[in-house]
Structure 1
């Protein structure tokens, strides 16, 4: 199962790089323009993913009783976002710096997981403070699925602006199997 999560972390980083290249083709005003998306604009969608990833990574870090997940330690100094529509990154450059750091954290943390970690039950509170207990494997599936969902929205917004993001299929990141 860990190889699946490593693949998804790699795909996540790769796709965010594709989105950055696409965003760099547009003027800043086009990135911030309201487009009727869940989070308004392309930049608003990008910010939502930064916010959501930060929330989840901080929740994961809060369940590291053994102290083995050192990749999550840099998040200790990052404040917990208070709203899902927060705008922590004012422009593409700020978003890209934050996105690269988050993607590296995700890749590094997934590499630190051991075979028993996915079956662990994590405890966290949602944005309303309601307590939850869920398996890490299921939460990781949610993390990656959520990213894919909103990146799909972003690719539609880019298409509406005349920018082709290119191929987005996970299949492109799946390594070839051993011939044996």
Structure 2
């Protein structure tokens, strides 16, 4: 389904996108970041926090570590300020890249089992599908942020994968 190279490419793409998104968010004031824009999580800010939380949730599942607290409802307030979010986003993106750099083909085989708070039950799905979902989830919500930024009158970043620099900078 997916390869180790896919995982590494998408981890780098995610970090590159978040770096450019952060620069745009830093040009916006708090009112614009927190305004309810009708997206699933309401605001740019809430959505950015949710994506950070979800990335940490998926990584905790892949690595068998303690998940972030708060659940989906609390995910939207994971960090209190843009500078804190930026630092946590940077750390998480670096972590995802390091994880992807250490993957082997066998790590992409088999099932991942976890208790889904969203579904309220235990779930078992192919690990490769779950990894693909993590990267898709990032792109989905970052796309929502992209649209909200544009609707707020700011110029958004380029999001095409083929435009990504091959040698970085991702972080």
Q: TM-score, normalised by structure 2?
A: 0.88
User: Quick check: 1:94 aligned with 2:84?
Assistant: yes
* Conserved 8 A contact 2:115-2:121: yes
Which structure 2 residues correspond to residues 17-56 of structure 1 after superposition, within 5 A?
17-56=19-58
Q: 1:81 aligns with which of 51, 70, 78?
A: 70
User: Quick check: 1:169 aligned with 2:160?
Assistant: yes
Residue 175 of structure 1 deviates from its aligned partner by 4.2
Residue 137 of structure 1 deviates from its aligned partner by 1.1
Q: Deviations over 1:80-105 (max 9, x none)?
A: 33234531111211111111111111
- Matches of 1:7 and 1:152, distance apart in 2: 18
SS in structure 1 opposite 2:125? Answer: strand
Structure 1 unmatched runs, 5+: 63-74
Residue 166 of structure 1 deviates from its aligned partner by 2.6
Is the alpha carbon distance of 1:105 and 1:58 closer, same or farther for their aligned partners in structure 2, counting shifts above 3 Å?
same
User: Quick check: 1:125 aligned with 2:77?
Assistant: no
SS in structure 1 opposite 2:112? Answer: strand
Residue 60 of structure 1 deviates from its aligned partner by 1.3
- Matches of 2:44 and 2:89, distance apart in 1: 14
Structure 2 unmatched runs, 5+: none
* Conserved 8 A contact 1:54-1:80: no
Aligned twin of 2:99: 109
Residue 120 of structure 1 deviates from its aligned partner by 2.6
Tell me which of the two structures has the higher relative contact order, counting C-alpha pairs closer than 8 angstroms and 6 or more residues apart.
2
User: Quick check: 1:145 aligned with 2:136?
Assistant: yes
Q: Deviations over 1:67-122 (max 9, x none)?
A: xxxxxxxx64x643323453111121111111111111110001111121111321
Question: Which structure has the greater CA radius of gyration?
Answer: 1
